Structure formats: C-alpha cells, structure tokens
Structure 1
Amino acid sequence: MVKLSKRLQTIADYVPAGSRLADIGSDHALLPVYLAEQGRVSFAVAGEINDGPLEAARRQVKESGLGAVVHPRQGDGLAVIDPDEVDVVTVAGMGGTLIAAILEQGQSKLGSVKRLVLQPNVAEDQVRRWLAAHDWLLDDETVLEEDGKFYFILCAVRRDDAHEENVKLYRPRRIGGGPLLETEELLRFGPIAAERGEEAFFRKWESELEKLDHIMEGMVRAGTDAALSRLEELAAERNRIKEVLECLPKAKP
C-alpha cells in the first residue's frame, strides 16, 4: 500500500470519491495509485513528460496491480488526456507560472473537468490569477508545512456563478478590522487563507520576511545605486507584509 507525504495526502483529500483523475507531473504515480488503492478513483492518468519519471510511474502501477485503473502516459501537460476523459485534474510540485501555463495551453481538455487541485511551489498568485480570469472559483485553500517548506494547496471548482463569486472573493476588503487589502494583495496572500489565519499561514509569511531580510542585506553590501533603489522597494514590501500579518486575526489553536 502506498503511503503519501503530508502534502500529497492533503491533495488526495480534495479528490472526491468516484473521480476520473488526471495527475499531471505524476512522477512515481503515488497519488493516483494511492487513490485507486482506496477505491476513490474509477480511472486515472499519471502524466509525465520525462522518460525517467514515466518509467518510475509504470513500475509503481505494475507493482500495485492497478494497471486496469491507473494509466501512465507520456506527454506535455494536459496533452496526456483526451477531451471529456476526466473530471478532476491535479497538478503539484511546480512553479505557479508553469501551472498556469499548463492550464492555459490545455484549456481544450478541461471541458468535462469539474475540479482542479493545484499545488504551486512558488508564485501562488499566478495560479489564483489564472483561475479568476477563466471563471474557476477558488473553493478552498490550505497552507501546510513539510520538511521546512511551506505549500499552498488550491482547490478550484467550475460553477455557473464563478465570475460573480470571484468578484466578491477578490474585492478589496478589510479582514478582522485590519488594513484594506487590495485585489492584488488578496491574490498574493490568498483570500481564504487570510480569513482563516491558521498558524501555518503566518509561519509561511514570516519565512518570506526572512528571505526578504537576506536579500536586503546583500543589497546593502553591494552598495550600488541600482541595489539601493531596489532596497527601498523591498523595504516597503517587507513593511507591508508585516503590517498585514500583525492585523490579520489568528485562528484559535
């Protein structure tokens, strides 16, 4: 039986029972094999573009004895599936810009898809931006920490009122009496995660502040006009993140 990491388990929990799944960038096909073992998917594609991960996926499927359910396929992004073949797509472990590009290039394959479960390693705002622009409603988002790294997992659904609901979701507003968060900031922080104020959310953004501190220290040492100009921008960004974190409500343990 396959055992998933905390990150993959969280993604798996977003996949409804009885789904027909495409897992893009599936690597060892751990997610689709696990879901098939649990009887949670009736059909799954484990998509991979590179030979090595594809072979690893094939071995995993063969060892599990689930070749009738899980189908490793080689191809770029959503090219591994046919139109109307699946109703859930998962994409994990890539940059947000790449995930958005995969969805953009594969729009013709999304006609029957009702749910997207996406885990960008960075640039989560680019994924939220794509979802909102294409009338996918951000239904839920989770922040988790694993092995010292933080991950956003985004679940989006197709709804007839997605456009109207997205307008509400990203409309500038105050959360918990804090500063007014503009649309761009809600796209960056996560409109649902910011409302929840879970501990992992705050730790994730505190780690971002630490990264900014290191970058700013390097610019001070550089001392060039360009570095000092950029330093002012980063200092303003850092102060804004800190201001938002200090004002957002924190969930009770």
Structure 2
Amino acid sequence: MNANELSLRLQVVANYVPKKARLADIGSDHAYLPVALVRNERIQYAIAGEVVQGPYEAARKQVSKNGLEQFIEIRLGDGMEVVFLEDNIEAVTICGMGGVLIRDILERGKRMHRFSGKERLILQPNVGEKQLREWLAAEGYTIIAETILEDHHKIYEVMVAEKLDSTASYTQHELLFGPHLLQERSTVFLKKWQHQLGKLEKVRANLAKSDQQLEDKIIQVEREIQWIKEALDESK
C-alpha cells in the first residue's frame, strides 16, 4: 500500500473524516492516511503520531517525499500525548489496533486533558470492539455511524463517535454487535458472527471437559452464543 492508494479499511476511515478538518492520526503507519487526505484536499492539517522511532522516521520520509511538511506534522510520543488542546484537532483516527489498546489510548488522553470534547473519533479496532464501545458509552459518546467490511480476507469494523447534546444508551446486544451494524445485518456482519459462533461453541465444549470450576465462564459463553444465534435468526 502507498499514500496514493489506501486499503479498503483505511478508505472507509477516510470517508468519515470531516472535510477541511484538523486531524490527529494516532499510530499513523507511514502517515498513509493523512497524506492521502491532504493530497485529495480533504483536510487542512494533520498530526501523525508514532510511539516508536522506526515508524516515526518512516512517516517523516513519506510526508517529505510528498512535499507535505507544511500540512502534516509528525510527532513522536505515546498515544494522545502528541496532541494538545491548542492544536484545535477536530477529528481523531486510531486504526489497526486492538479495541482494548484503543480504549486505553483514549482513556490516557482523557486523563491528560488532550480532548476538547468536540472531536469526532473514528476508530478501527481489529478485535475487542465491545470493550471499546463500552468505554465510549461510559464517557458520554454517541456512536453515530459504523461500517463492517472485508479487506484481504479479514473482517474489520469502523466506528464513529461524537459527544452530542443528548447522551445515547446502549443495550448489551448493541455493545456486542454494534448498534448500527445490528440493524443492518449485512452479509459481512453475518459472516463474522457465524464464524464467531463456531469458535464459541468449541470453547463451550472445552470448558465442559475442564476439571476446573468455570461456571461463570460457561454462563458467559452460553449467553453470548444465545445472543449470536438470535442475531443470526432475526436476519433470516
């Protein structure tokens, strides 16, 4: 992949970035996303944050190669510590990490007072979507949009959240499946949860064979299996 041709998952993320926004891309991966957005005149400014020196240097080279130093600033630091309120950031993208890690990055950013509360969060977790939605809900964010897609034989979810005047509340089903994805029940959504159902049924069988006292775990797995079956049945 290069900055002129984003992967499908990053293109979905890019589509959710507001036009002319000031963007913070955390864990920027060669700055592909901000470079593409600036080149297409979608955003006016971006911070590309990297925590490791190697990816930081790679991002710097990518920005320099495209002659975009005046539009994209590469910063070395851990998560949201590269962003300051005076940067007037309007959108934050965090992609290609586990949902728990994204949640922890957002939580540290909140504790460090790096959010104004007006930013749009565009998040692409690889796993752990439920834990990320739980944090967003607890912090007063509304999930305004979601997309589930398949890219190179892997399934990804993208969620978009903002703080609105009215606070949304979500059921446990919505936190697990995604409130918008649960309503749409796309082909990719069904494929993901069919696969997850098979995995959980194997987990249940292994737990039943275990000598350990795992009643709470078995109950949790049974409940999730039932929820998945209901979500799949309702799509028929």
State the TM-score, normalizing by the size of structure 1.
0.84
1:64 aligns with 2:52: no
Question: Of the candidates 122, 126, 129, which is equivalent to residue 127 of structure 2?
Answer: 122
Question: Of the candidates 155, 162, 170, which is equivalent to residue 160 of structure 2?
Answer: 155
* Matched residue count: 230
Q: Distance in 2 between matches of 1:16 and 1:236?
A: 38
Larger mean CA deviation between 110-119 and 49-58 belongs to 110-119
Larger mean CA deviation between 99-108 and 109-118 belongs to 109-118
Q: Distance in 2 between matches of 1:184 and 1:88?
A: 27
Residue 197 of structure 1 corresponds to which residue in structure 2?
Answer: 185
Q: Quote the offset at 1:59 in angstroms.
A: 1.1
Structure 1 residues 191 and 112: alpha-carbon distance in aligned structure 2, compared to 1, 3 A threshold:
closer
Listed as ranges, the gaps of 5+ residues in structure 2 are none
Residue 45 of structure 1 corresponds to which residue in structure 2?
Answer: 47
Q: Quote the offset at 1:233 in angstroms.
A: 5.0
Listed as ranges, the gaps of 5+ residues in structure 1 are 171-182
Q: Distance in 2 between matches of 1:217 and 1:112?
A: 45
Q: Distance in 2 between matches of 1:14 and 1:106?
A: 21
Question: Of the candidates 141, 146, 150, which is equivalent to residue 145 of structure 1?
Answer: 150
CA RMSD across the alignment: 1.9
Q: Is the 8 A contact 2:117 2:163 kept in 1?
A: no
Q: Is the 8 A contact 1:83 1:112 kept in 2?
A: no
Q: Quote the offset at 1:240 in angstroms.
A: 3.1
Residue 134 of structure 1 corresponds to which residue in structure 2?
Answer: 139
* 1:29-68 superposed Cα distances (whole Å, 9 cap, x missing partner): 1000000100111110110101111111111111111111
Residue 175 of structure 1 corresponds to which residue in structure 2?
Answer: none
* 1:42-98 superposed Cα distances (whole Å, 9 cap, x missing partner): 110110101111111111111111111111111011100111411100011111111
Residue 225 of structure 1 corresponds to which residue in structure 2?
Answer: 211
Residue 17 of structure 1 corresponds to which residue in structure 2?
Answer: 19
Q: Is the 8 A contact 2:141 2:161 kept in 1?
A: yes
Q: Which amino acid aligns with 1:139?
A: I
3-state DSSP class of the match of 2:224? helix
Q: Distance in 2 between matches of 1:5 and 1:227?
A: 45
Q: Distance in 2 between matches of 1:233 and 1:31?
A: 38
Q: Is the 8 A contact 2:182 2:231 kept in 1?
A: no
Q: Which amino acid aligns with 1:191?
A: P
Q: Which amino acid aligns with 1:239?
A: Q
Q: Is the 8 A contact 1:141 1:154 kept in 2?
A: yes
Structure 1 residues 231 and 130: alpha-carbon distance in aligned structure 2, compared to 1, 3 A threshold:
closer
Q: Which amino acid aligns with 2:93?
A: T
Describe how 1:209-248 pairs up with structure 2 within 5 A: 209-216=197-204, 218-219=206-207, 223-226=209-212, 229=215, 230=217, 234-248=221-235
Q: Quote the offset at 1:124 in angstroms.
A: 0.8
Q: Distance in 2 between matches of 1:45 and 1:17?
A: 16
Q: Distance in 2 between matches of 1:209 and 1:118?
A: 24
Q: Distance in 1 between matches of 2:213 and 2:5?
A: 47
Q: Quote the offset at 1:106 in angstroms.
A: 0.7
Q: Quote the offset at 1:224 in angstroms.
A: 2.8
* 1:156-181 superposed Cα distances (whole Å, 9 cap, x missing partner): 122222x1xx03xx2xxxxxxxxxxx
Structure 1 residues 236 and 111: alpha-carbon distance in aligned structure 2, compared to 1, 3 A threshold:
closer
What is the aligned-residue identity percentage?
42
Larger mean CA deviation between 228-237 and 198-207 belongs to 228-237
Q: Quote the offset at 1:119 in angstroms.
A: 0.8
* 1:170-211 superposed Cα distances (whole Å, 9 cap, x missing partner): 2xxxxxxxxxxxx11211111111111111111111121132
Structure 1 residues 113 and 50: alpha-carbon distance in aligned structure 2, compared to 1, 3 A threshold:
farther
Q: Which amino acid aligns with 2:229?
A: K
Q: Is the 8 A contact 2:80 2:105 kept in 1?
A: yes
State the TM-score, normalizing by the size of structure 2.
0.90
